[in-house]
A and B are shown apart, each in its own frame.
Chain A
Amino acid sequence: MIAQGAQVLTPNRRVSSRALVLLAATQVALALWLWGSASAGVLPRPGEVARAVGALWADAGLGSALLTSIGTSLEALAITAAAGLLISYSTVLPFFRPVVAAVTTGRFLGLVGLTFGFTLLFSGGHALRVSLLVFGMTVFFVTSMVAEIRALPARAFDHARTVRMGEWRVVLEVVVLGTADRALELLRQNAAVGWTLLTMVEGLTRAEGGAGAMLLDRNKHLRLDEVMAIQLCVLAVGFLQDRALGALRRLVCPHADLRVEGGRTS
């Protein structure tokens, strides 16, 4: 037991997945105990939050609000994937490189400042939400994808040429198919960013509903148990979305995880 305890505190040590689950369960239990015992009078206790989840689900339409948020998030993610990949892949053509550079520079713009312009450009709350999310995700997604494409070694392109591929086919094989696993991984990371932004963006147009609108509403009335309940549900949905995208990546690119196996740990 002591030896096993020492192992989990040894740097770069690989442990079994069973041991990891046990560690996680222990740490969650510890966190709940700390929350329950140390938050008296400041934060609602776990039981109160659990009861608030039930009440919000049954009476306030939390499920429907979460579905609205999921729908908005998936729509924005689909547009981000299509637009982001198209912009990123266009970097192989010198003509589009300034455009791509301009898009990546967009990540230094403040989202709040953009809201005014986007409000004028897009009619309707839903379009405003989606466009803000798409912008927020695309600029980071394109930046990371372009870095991936630039990091492709020249020998990978040469290799494709040695098997008689023309330049467009080289792009398809090396740039598009060759980076598909990393593109899906980056999309997954940006989906998490988008999900974090979503509750803020939903606050801009509350009439459209969604978990963010509900959260701000409960926050305004200082219903801390309900605020924490919504936050926990948002966290759970975000986590599930992340797992689903990870599963999609493993399904579409089964070779992806083979490359990182046996990494630095022993």
Chain B
Amino acid sequence: MNAVNAVNAVNAERKDVLLRAERVSLDLGGHRILRDVSLEIRNLVCPGKITGQVVGLLGPSGMGKTQLLRILAGLAAPTEGSVRLTPAQVPVRPGLVGVVTQDCALFEHRTVLGNLCVAGRQAGRSAASARAEARALLGRFGLRGQEALYPAQLSGGQRQRVAIAQQLMCSEHYLLMDEPFSGLDPLAQSEVCRVITEVASAHELNTIVVITHDIRAAIEVADELWLLGRDRDEAGRPIEGARIQATYDLVSRGLAWHPDLAHAPELAPLVEEVRGRFAQL
């Protein structure tokens, strides 16, 4: 870690709560999928640096990560509990939180520009303002010149960036990403990490939750990790309903915003620690 980042990490402070889930439970088909999930994301303030917040939500397959994402996005109602966007304490509803799904859903019948403009119009912008904002976002994401293409003509990486840009046209500060690293080669994965970091650092309140299996990639982009999994009874059998089993503050561990994470001595022990927890979930 260089000197500047060391100072930043020491001075970084988690302040106001931006998103809070309280005792969220979900039953589906007679099974408890989530049990008493409580979590909060606080505004991470770091003097002299716009950081935003990036949380990595890790967990083995079938733990209900995607269901939790749908609840956090307001797309599904929990059986019990609530999700609020603070400081106004607004109950979450569809449209307030952006979602980029694993398949990077877009409107296939609209062009790239059309996809962004329709989202901008839905957010209440005028046609001219939506178009200008869309063009600016496309430029920021290296998609200038692709405006007239249809989603089917884009590469996987381009499609993901368009999907992120579309959500940013609507949701002001919150973005949930489901398995953004799935099936990507290392170079493409680095590019996704770069985009996530860029979006997070564009505004102090920008808050991104990345749902993934990829421990190393999650550490690369996140400032905090949540581990979702099930408890076990005395006989070692898993108990129905996943909850947050552990959180890891990467800022205090000196791993957030690290300029050379691959060579950071703290990285390998943390990866091993998280991997070890995976086996018990």
Q: Which A residues are closer than 8 A to B by beta carbons?
A: 155-156, 158-165, 169, 173, 177-178, 180-181, 253-255, 258-259, 261
B107 touches A162 (CB 8 A): no
Give the CA-CA distance A253 to B169 in the complex, in Å. Answer: 25
Given known contacts A155-B101, A159-B99, A258-B153, A164 and B109 CB-to-CB distance under 8 angstroms: no
Nearest 4 A/B pairs, CB to CB: A164-B95, A159-B105, A258-B152, A161-B94
B118 touches A163 (CB 8 A): yes
A163 touches B109 (CB 8 A): no
Smallest CB separation, B113 vs chain A (Å): 13
Give the CA-CA distance A125 to B170 in the complex, in Å. Answer: 56
Smallest CB separation, A177 vs chain B (Å): 5
B150 touches A258 (CB 8 A): yes
Give the CA-CA distance A185 to B116 in the complex, in Å. Answer: 27
Smallest CB separation, B72 vs chain A (Å): 12
Residues of chain A lying within 8 A (CB to CB) of residue B150: 254-255, 258
**13 residue pairs bridging A and B, Cβ less than 8 Å apart:** A155-B101, A161-B75, A162-B98, A164-B94, A164-B95, A164-B119, A165-B95, A169-B122, A177-B109, A178-B108, A178-B109, A181-B109, A258-B150
Return the contact of A255 from the options B94, B109, B122, B171 (Cβ within 8 A). B109
| CB nearest neighbor in B for A254 | B150
A161 touches B95 (CB 8 A): yes
Give the CA-CA distance A164 to B118 in the complex, in Å. Answer: 10
Residues of chain A lying within 8 A (CB to CB) of residue B73: 162
Smallest CB separation, B26 vs chain A (Å): 16
Given known contacts A258-B152, A258-B153, A162 and B94 CB-to-CB distance under 8 angstroms: yes
A-B contact count (CB 8 A): 69
Give the CA-CA distance A165 to B167 in the complex, in Å. Answer: 12
A158 touches B75 (CB 8 A): yes
Smallest CB separation, A225 vs chain B (Å): 49
- Of residues 86 to 113 in B, which have CB atoms within 8 Å of A's CB atoms? 94-95, 97-99, 101, 103, 105-109
Give the CA-CA distance A158 to B118 in the complex, in Å. Answer: 15
A259 touches B95 (CB 8 A): no
A159 touches B101 (CB 8 A): yes
Smallest CB separation, B235 vs chain A (Å): 37
B109 touches A156 (CB 8 A): no
Interface: B267 (CB within 8 A): no
Interface: B123 (CB within 8 A): yes
Return the contact of A173 from the options B107, B151, B171 (Cβ within 8 A). B107
Give the CA-CA distance A158 to B119 in the complex, in Å. Answer: 14
Interface: B70 (CB within 8 A): yes
A158 touches B122 (CB 8 A): no
Smallest CB separation, B30 vs chain A (Å): 20
Residues of chain B lying within 8 A (CB to CB) of residue A261: 152
B170 touches A163 (CB 8 A): yes
Residues of chain B lying within 8 A (CB to CB) of residue A156: 105
Interface: B166 (CB within 8 A): yes
Smallest CB separation, B68 vs chain A (Å): 14
- Of residues 239 to 278 in B, which have CB atoms within 8 Å of A's CB atoms? none
Residues of chain A lying within 8 A (CB to CB) of residue B75: 158, 161-162
B152 touches A259 (CB 8 A): yes
Residues of chain B lying within 8 A (CB to CB) of residue A258: 150, 152-153
B119 touches A163 (CB 8 A): yes
- Of residues 58 to 100 in B, which have CB atoms within 8 Å of A's CB atoms? 70, 73, 75, 94-95, 97-99
Return the contact of A180 from the options B95, B109, B166, B170 (Cβ within 8 A). B109
Given known contacts A158-B70, A159-B101, A164 and B108 CB-to-CB distance under 8 angstroms: no
Residues of chain B lying within 8 A (CB to CB) of residue A155: 101, 103, 105
